[in-house]
Amino acid sequence: MPKGIPKNGINKGWFKKGQNSFNKGRKASWMIGKKNPHWNNGRYTDKNGYIYILSPDHPYKDKRGYVKEERIIFEKEMAHRYLLPKEIIHHINGIKDDNRIENLMYFPDQNTHKKFENAIKGNPMSGKHHTEESRNKMRGKRLSVYGENNPNYKHGKYSNKR
């Protein structure tokens, strides 16, 4: 039997127990960047449909050195500065890979962006002010449950006579 193969005939690998490979934890130099067969000129689309561009000098890049394309476009065309991580760029038509400047809208923070999104969707929790009618309805419910209109208020559960 050849040296290195166990007697039972099953080859468990090239290394002896406890021995590490010479390149453990390192990427092969021939697979980095343009040499990689999957290289796409420093661009990729994530699972949510956003396009990322390799920008190693950007101060707010991710750990791999990529930044969302819409942020780079907005920074160059409109802001003329780096956008802070809390600042949001919104796609007006909802298509995440449509990064034309006329399709991008700036929001200073997530809270403002969420209010805008809710207002567009017609969500009742959108931060819109209630009408006088809806306020009165809510007041009526509160009074009937907690106030003098509640039958338990004077004589039952909430009375001082116990």
Burial label for 67, CB within 10 Å (0-12, 13-18, 19+), is buried
- Is the pLDDT confidence value at 110 over 90? yes
Where residue 136 falls among pLDDT bands split at 50, 70, 90? low
Within-domain flag for 115:
no
Within-domain flag for 50:
yes
What's the predicted TM-score (pTM) here?
A: 0.58
Within-domain flag for 2:
no
Within-domain flag for 13:
no
Within-domain flag for 112:
no
Digit-coded pLDDT (tens) for 14-28: 666 666 666 666 667
Within-domain flag for 94:
no
Report d(CA 45, CA 103) in Å as an integer: 18
Within-domain flag for 5:
no
Q: What is the pLDDT of residue 39?
A: 82
Q: What's the total number of domains in the chain?
A: 1
Report how far apart, in Å, the C-alpha atoms of 67 and of each of 28, 52, 85, 88 are.
Answer: 24, 5, 11, 13
**Helices (runs of H) and strands (runs of E) counted in the chain:** 4, 5
- The residue range of the domain holding 49 is 35-87
Digit-coded pLDDT (tens) for 78-105: 888 999 999 999 999 888 989 999 999 9
Within-domain flag for 45:
yes
CB distance 68 to 43 below 8 Å: no
HEC string for 24-85 = CCCCCHHHCHHHCCCCCCCEEECCCCCEEEECCCCCCCCCCCEEEHHHHHHHHHHHCCCCCC
More confident residue, 14 or 146: 14
